[in-house]
Structure 1
Amino acid sequence: METAKVVVGNLATVFTIINYASGIQICRNIYAKGNTIDVSPLPFLAGILTTFIWLQYGVKKEDTILMWVNSIGLLLQLSFLICFHLHTKLKRPLHLKMFTLAAILAAIFCEVNYVVKNKDTSLNILGFIGCAAALFFFSSPLATVAQVVRSQSTESLPFPLILSAFLVSSLWTLYGVLCDDVFIYVPNFMGALITSCQLALFLIYPSASL
């Protein structure tokens, strides 16, 4: 069981980092254009929030795999946000969003490290916040699914990213089951379910680009 957990965890880490690296292409496009028009900073801000929460969860749980993958993810998301900041002309609205995020992260950090003394309670707080954030972000593609059904076309869906997200969610679901950790497998199972629905759309409405 322990060997299976390590193997699945390492696979999940590799695919997650590959998934995170999709932001590199976005930053390359920003650099090439010299501006951030038509690009939102929200995915980077959301990435910082989720990786920070799960990094704290991994530290509290003493889970090396969670610590590694979220440390790398946090550094990548911070790098993407810095790239966005350097090229955006709307710095004041971005600064407000960054300040709000920093305040939220500071509040979470203080709550689970200084206010709450019980380790299990801290884990539950981080787990519930992490689950809520993950379910919120996983549910966001549902609007796109509805649009595809109406238009009967999957041209607007990024097949490689969806396939990658499905693999990542499936691997973390399996890892959560092996660890018997409901906070890991529940949101990732939902993510795998949603992305599998998106993949099914490519069978129902085949894209000419595939």
Structure 2
Amino acid sequence: MISTSSVRTVVGIIGNVISFGLFLSPLPTFMTIVSKKAVEQFSPIPYLATLLNCMMWIVYGLPIVHPNSVLVLTINGAGLLIEALYISIFFAFSPRRLRLKILGILVVELVFVGAVLAGVLGGVHTHNKRTEIVGILCVIFGTAMYASPLSIMKTVIETKSVKYMPFSLSFISFLNGICWMSYSLLRFDLYILIPNGLGALLSAAQLILYFKYYRTTPNDEPKQNIELPEVVATSAPDSFSCVTVER
């Protein structure tokens, strides 16, 4: 008979694969940046936010904080490397003023994560308490980043157009949220459940809006690159990134 632990592992691996694909979704944006050797109107904030998110969930998944969280570590470790690459490209093609801004934010993020790690390891001596403290911080950051799709959904309702909300992105985000919700329920983990449950609900709401308004979306609009904020539901609170969609 298949154990719950084995099922949870399989679900987590599937979640890792989907999340990895979503981490790679901004590639068109960076291909544009590299080809034009300029960041133009693109913002580094989503990638810096995702980097912080991944770092916090790496802390959460450490054996000394929350044991038996290998799949949390793997996906967020991969996300950390991918976001670091994105930020490096952004830094390379940014003007000096924006570079200083990026460096400043990076320093603040690193100091914050270092302080959390030092405080938890130095001042808290049980896994349960460490999990609670870091988990609450992760949920706060993840929930804050989840506010991003609300502006897109508002735009869809106001314009009666899904031009800025591609179906594939919403659908994959929904599947990813459901996958990680299942993972958290198979061995209950409230801190993984809350952000991914919220992500699944928001993605479902986006799908409902898509089916409601896709028929009223103009078909004769010129092709253009659109930068979309995207929430990536992983074992961490769903990571925030940008993707350029060509219509």
TM-score with structure 2 length normalisation? 0.81
Which residue does the alignment assign to 1:172?
Answer: 180
Aligned match of 1:43 in 38, 43, 46?
Answer: 46
Letter of the aligned partner of 2:133 in structure 1?
I
Where 1:40 maps in the other structure, the secondary structure is coil
Judge conservation of contact 2:66–2:130 (CA < 8 Å) in 1: no
Which residue does the alignment assign to 1:135?
Answer: 143
More moved, 69-78 vs 156-165: 156-165
Judge conservation of contact 1:44–1:77 (CA < 8 Å) in 2: yes
Q: CA deviation at 1:190?
A: 0.7
Q: CA deviation at 1:113?
A: 2.2
Identity %: 24
Q: CA deviation at 1:118?
A: 2.5
Judge conservation of contact 1:139–1:194 (CA < 8 Å) in 2: no
Q: What are the superposed Cα offsets for residues 140-198 of structure 1, whole Å, 9 maximum, x if unpaired?
A: 21121112111111111132222221111111111011121111111101110001101
Distance in 1 (alpha carbons) for counterparts of 2:106 and 2:186: 36
Distance in 1 (alpha carbons) for counterparts of 2:197 and 2:24: 22
Distance in 1 (alpha carbons) for counterparts of 2:61 and 2:201: 24
Q: Which has the higher contact order (CA 8 A, sep 6+)?
A: 2
Where 1:22 maps in the other structure, the secondary structure is coil
Unmatched 5+ stretches in structure 1: none
Distance in 2 (alpha carbons) for counterparts of 1:131 and 1:183: 6
Regions of 4+ moved over 6 Å:
none
Aligned match of 1:69 in 75, 99, 105?
Answer: 75
Where 1:88 maps in the other structure, the secondary structure is coil
More helix by share: 1
Which residue does the alignment assign to 1:78?
Answer: 84
Unmatched 5+ stretches in structure 2: 220-246
1:155-170 maps to which residues of 2 (within 5 A)? 155-170=163-178
Q: CA deviation at 1:49?
A: 0.9
Tell me: CA distance 1:170–1:96, structure 2 relative to 1, closer, same or farther (3 Å).
same
More moved, 123-132 vs 160-169: 160-169
Aligned match of 2:111 in 103, 114, 120?
Answer: 103
Figure out how many residues of one structure are paired with residues of the other and give that number. Answer: 210
Q: CA deviation at 1:208?
A: 6.1
Letter of the aligned partner of 1:91 in structure 2?
R
Letter of the aligned partner of 1:121 in structure 2?
K
More strand by share: 2
